[in-house]
Amino acid sequence: MNTFITAAGVALIGLMLLVLIRAIKGPTVIDRLVAINVIGTKSIVLLLFAGILFGQLEMFVDIALGYGLLNYIVSIAASRYYQHRKSLEPEHSPGGSPVS
Amino acid sequence: MGFLGYILISTGLVFFLGTTIGLLRFPDFYTRMHAAGKGDTLSTVMILLGCICLVSMSWLLALKILLIINFIFIGSPTATHAMMDAGNKAGATPWRKDSK
Amino acid sequence: MSALPIWQFDVLLLMLVLLFAVVALSIRNLMGAAVVFGAYSFMMCLIWAGMGAVDVAFTEAAVGAGVSTVFVVSTLYNTGATMQRRTGGLAFKLFIGVVVTVAGAFLLSALPDFPKWGAPDSPVNATVAPYYILNTFEDAHVHNIVTSVLADYRGFDTLLETTVVFIACIAIYSIMRVDNAKLETDEPAIVAAPRYDPSDSLIVRQASRFMVPFMQLFALYVIAHGHYSPGGGFQGGVILGASLILLAISFDLKFLLRQWSEKTLMLLVAAGVFLYAAVGLACVFMGGNYLDYGFLDSVLPGERDMARSHGILLVEIGVGITVMFSMIAIHINLASNGRFDRGL
Amino acid sequence: MEKLITNFNYVIVVILMMIGLWAMLAQKNLIKKCIGMPIFQTGIILFFISIGAKNKAKVPILSKFVVENSSAIIVNDYANPLTQILMLTAIVVGVATLGVGLALAQKIYQQHSSFDEDEILENQRK
């Protein structure tokens, strides 16, 4: 079982690396936000995997629960941000946005 | 029971692979959001259910993991909605067939 | 004992974390940098968990997912800066790079002298630490060694750290707070954010309304159950603060300020530190040393070791109150640009 | 070279500290400096935590089984708790100091309407 969990964890980290490509490339901020949100959800799973591998799942499940509760605050903050600031442009064409 | 756990975790990984490919290959923000919002939630829920089946644990621990699933089921679609809202308000343009 | 350290995860994650750090610094859009920095903190949480530091991982999870990114976002919201200016100065950057590399090379030259990664007989692990592991249950009747060392053996340290959080809160308050009456004449408000906007998303508000009570219940559990599982005042305080920050974001800053006035918030920030210091002083009056909870046994139930356990709980509650309300006060100051009326 | 593998964690620590220091010194943007500060800080936290990690150790929480049967506690079964508590408080203090930095940056932006160091200096000379 431990080998399977380890393999699954390594596969998850590998796929997270691929998701990170979207966070690096992503032409707009929102694309990055989507990628980071996916990575955050997968951290919950990896925390549980770490708990299984340590053989002390009851110690790790609280952290995962905290993550599950808090994970979506940043998305909501970003949504509030873009309600009032319409400044979504690909980074390579600065356009008319206030540059600082 | 353990067999079911292996199947659930593997299926979850396959769904996460789909999410990753969707995030990387889709042409614009809205379609990427489509891949990330659905595949991410489903794969996380499946892997967590797989953990419950795979590892022998007390009912309290299983309840906690079910609570995590519950919170992800509420939080993750809300985050998806908020990000979609943000993209819409910030003016992300949808992809068309004739756009390059 | 199927104790298996997950070094194979750790090596992968350590590589990944470097990548995240570089990406967060190289993205020119400031909002994007803030978002990637949030993910950097996720990775760090996984690394702490992989090394068996569950309490640290919990703190990092609560701080990274709940508050730190929101602080950066609210600063960006109030200033309206989106892009980093494309500056030249490549020579300067290279010069700094050389200086930093030389400093790093000096540090790396000490590499062979360090004990091996994960060696149980290194000086750090073999001198002081075994005392805590062996004696904590007899002394304080606490299962979680980290909690007992945090609040009991090294109580002074934690008292002063809590004071630092308090002082940081005061500093931000004195930097940011402006008088609303004077503001109109002095300078125009930089952000003309609309007031409460009924077109706000109903879905977000209903989801927050559902989640916030669970968050607060969970945070109270974390503070109270910190004796037996990872958790304690810092983690619970940050989660409580994050729950109210979530309310402020998804509804409106006014919604939060209707229930917690500015004065109440600042009084409660001080009250937590006061509770901590008062417990210490009570020990002095009962005849012991400062923060020696064992002497509270005539007031608190149980023998001397149980009294220490209960004293730790009191102190953790004090820490939780200070951390919770200072997080909220910092958020309100940053989000409303010091005006305490509207904001992110 | 062999040390480079057994002491891999210290290499990452030094690189993280270098990245953070470089960001704080060379980046002209105040927000980027504020992001560099936590990176430097996590480098130091990583140093402490990894120096206290033990091979084949569990988390430093005594299980009910060990306590109730009053069996001997084996020190090397538990990771070092001391380094962990030193860093636990540092994280919360770190986010409070990040708040102070951001507050200062926000005030500076109000005065000079820029986060860029060069522009701020130019504004001041005027």
Confidence at residue A25, expressed as pLDDT on a 0 to 100 scale = 85
Residues of C in contact with D68 (CB under 8 A): none
For residue A92, is it within any domain? no
User: Residues 34..73 of B with a Cβ closer than 8 Å to C: which?
Assistant: 71
Using the beta-carbon criterion (under 8 Å), do D59 and A56 form an inter-chain contact? yes
- pLDDT over 90 percentage in chain C: 36
Please enumerate in sequence order all residues whose Cβ is within 8 A of that of C174, keeping only pairs 6 or more positions apart, or say none.
none
Mean pLDDT (chain C) is: 85
Please enumerate in sequence order all residues whose Cβ is within 8 A of that of C176, keeping only pairs 6 or more positions apart, or say none.
C333, C334, C337, C338, D103, D106, D107
Name the residue with higher pLDDT: A99 or D40.
D40
Confidence at residue C193, expressed as pLDDT on a 0 to 100 scale = 47
Confidence at C1, pLDDT banded by 50, 70, 90:
very low
pLDDT digits (tens, 9 = 90+) for A25-39: 878 888 888 999 999
Using the beta-carbon criterion (under 8 Å), do D113 and A100 form an inter-chain contact? yes
Q: Range with the lowest mean pLDDT among B33-37, C164-168, D37-41?
A: B33-37
Using the beta-carbon criterion (under 8 Å), do A87 and B17 form an inter-chain contact? no
Confidence at residue C6, expressed as pLDDT on a 0 to 100 scale = 54
Is-contact C248 C255, C-beta < 8 A? yes
Q: Is the pLDDT of residue A99 over 80?
A: no
Q: What is the mean pLDDT of residues C164-180?
A: 90
Domain residue limits, chain C: 1-82, 142-180+201-344
Name the residue with higher pLDDT: C294 or C194.
C294
D68's tokens: 């109730």
Is-contact C237 C318, C-beta < 8 A? no
Residue of C101, C111, C337 lying closest to D18 (CB–CB): C101
Sites in chain D below the pLDDT cut of 70: 1, 70-71
Strands in C152-260 per DSSP E: none
Residues of B in contact with A7 (CB under 8 A): none
For residue A94, is it within any domain? no
> What secondary structure, in 3-state letters, does D16-31 show?
HHHHHHHHHHHCCEHH
Residue C308 and residue C291: Cα distance in Å, rounded? 10
Using the beta-carbon criterion (under 8 Å), do A65 and B68 form an inter-chain contact? yes
Q: What's the structural domain count of chain A?
A: 1
Please enumerate in sequence order all residues whose Cβ is within 8 A of that of B88, keeping only pairs 6 or more positions apart, or say none.
none
| Min Cα separation C247/chain D (Å) | 20
> What residues are paired with D58 via a beta bridge?
D78
Of C53, C227, C55, C231, the C-alpha closest to C140 is: C227
Q: What is the mean pLDDT of residues C305-319?
A: 90
Q: Is the dihedral of CA C181, C186, C190, C192 positive or negative?
A: positive
DSSP letter for each residue of D30-80: HHHHHHHHHHHHHHHHHHHHHHH--TT-B-SB--HHHHHTTPPPPGGGB--
Is-contact C52 D57, C-beta < 8 A? yes
Q: Is C249 left (phi over 0), alpha (psi -120 to 50) or beta?
A: alpha
Residue A46 and residue A64: Cα distance in Å, rounded? 9
For residue A100, is it within any domain? no
pLDDT digits (tens, 9 = 90+) for C150-165: 888 888 999 999 999 9
Confidence at residue A29, expressed as pLDDT on a 0 to 100 scale = 85
Of C137, C166, C165, C163, the C-alpha closest to C152 is: C137
**Does B82 contact chain C (CB < 8 Å)?**
yes
- pLDDT over 70 percentage in chain C: 92
For residue A44, is it within any domain? yes
Find the closest chain D residue to C51 by CA distance: D53
Confidence at residue D75, expressed as pLDDT on a 0 to 100 scale = 81
Residues of D in contact with C111 (CB under 8 A): 3-4, 7, 10-11
Of D60, D100, D97, D93, the C-alpha closest to D76 is: D60
ipTM of the complex: 0.91
Q: What is the mean pLDDT of residues A46-51?
A: 90
Residue D13 and residue C123: Cα distance in Å, rounded? 19
pLDDT digits (tens, 9 = 90+) for B78-87: 999 988 888 8
Find the closest chain A residue to B76 by CA distance: A72
Give the CATH number of domain D2-125.
1.10.287.3510
Using the beta-carbon criterion (under 8 Å), do B81 and C204 form an inter-chain contact? yes
Confidence at C183, pLDDT banded by 50, 70, 90:
low
Hey, what amino acid is at C33? A
Domain that holds residue A74: 2-85
Chains B and D make contact, 3+ CB pairs within 8 Å: no
Confidence at residue A94, expressed as pLDDT on a 0 to 100 scale = 40
Using the beta-carbon criterion (under 8 Å), do B78 and C207 form an inter-chain contact? yes
Residue reference for tokens 């002298």: C113
Using the beta-carbon criterion (under 8 Å), do A63 and C45 form an inter-chain contact? yes
> What residues are paired with D116 via a beta bridge?
D29
Confidence at residue C3, expressed as pLDDT on a 0 to 100 scale = 42
| Min Cα separation C202/chain D (Å) | 30
| Min Cα separation C281/chain A (Å) | 33
Confidence at residue D71, expressed as pLDDT on a 0 to 100 scale = 67
User: Residues 204..233 of C with a Cβ closer than 8 Å to D: which?
Assistant: 228-230
Confidence at residue C199, expressed as pLDDT on a 0 to 100 scale = 53
